[in-house]
Amino acid sequence: MQLLSSRGATRLGPLMVALGLAIILSGCGGDSQAADEGTASSSGAVSSKAQFIEKADKICAQADGRQIRMRTAYLVKHPNAEKSEAGQVRIVKTVALPPISREVTELAQLDPPTEGGEEIEALISELEELIREAEENPKGVVEGAWSPAAAEAKAKKLGFDACATPS
């Protein structure tokens, strides 16, 4: 999951948390605002690995949509934000991290399936740690010291799509 491109544009590769996360606005997450505001069910119950991944990828795609909307609105208000490191740090704090943090929280609320559950729980823990690191050092995200590449690779190996693809 990458939060900033090499040109400083905010990006989300979700599992977002980390985090895991791709910009997939159609097919995986629904494109209405009402659908976007949904969260994991209160029980988070999922019966199979495939169902878990489908539900998780939907959460990741929704987070991507939230981040795109937030970034667009932020840049309308602050058109020069991407031009300085300080502005990019503010983008990370106010636009990139909140949707990813919410995403990882929602993923953690899902009950992992029996098959692959331990690997999935380990991945979510890794994403939670990546979010903590980014929140503690948003400048590190801008400087490229923060990388979710290993978590994305694990997510892809487990079968995730939106949660394993940097945007």
How do the pLDDT tens digits run along the chain, 167 residues long? 434 433 344 333 332 333 332 222 222 333 333 333 334 444 555 579 999 999 999 999 999 999 999 999 999 999 999 999 999 999 999 999 999 999 999 999 999 998 889 999 999 999 999 999 999 999 999 999 888 899 999 999 999 999 987 75
Q: What is the pLDDT of residue 146?
A: 87
Domain that holds residue 106: 15-164
Residue 5 lies in a domain: no
In a domain, 100, yes or no: yes
Could you tell me if residue 102 is inside a domain? yes
Q: Contact at 8 Å (CB) between 21 and 103?
A: yes
What pLDDT sits at residue 18? 31
Instruction: Give a yes or no: residue 1 inside a domain.
Output: no
Residue 2 lies in a domain: no
| Exposure letters 85-119 (e unless 16+ CB within 10 A, then b) | eebbbbbbebbbbebbbbbbbbbbebebbeebeee
Instruction: With respect to residue 4, please indicate whether it lies within any of the assigned structural domains.
Output: no
Q: What is the structure's pLDDT at 46?
A: 55
What's the one-letter identity of residue 139? K
Report if pTM > 0.85. no
Asked whether residue 7 is assigned to any structural domain, the reply reads: no
Domain total for the chain?
A: 1
What's the confidence (pLDDT) of residue 43? 52
Report which residue type is found at 120. I
pLDDT of residue 156: 93
Within a domain: residue 46? yes
Asked if residue 13 lies in contact with residue 21, where contact means CB atoms within 8 angstroms, the answer is yes
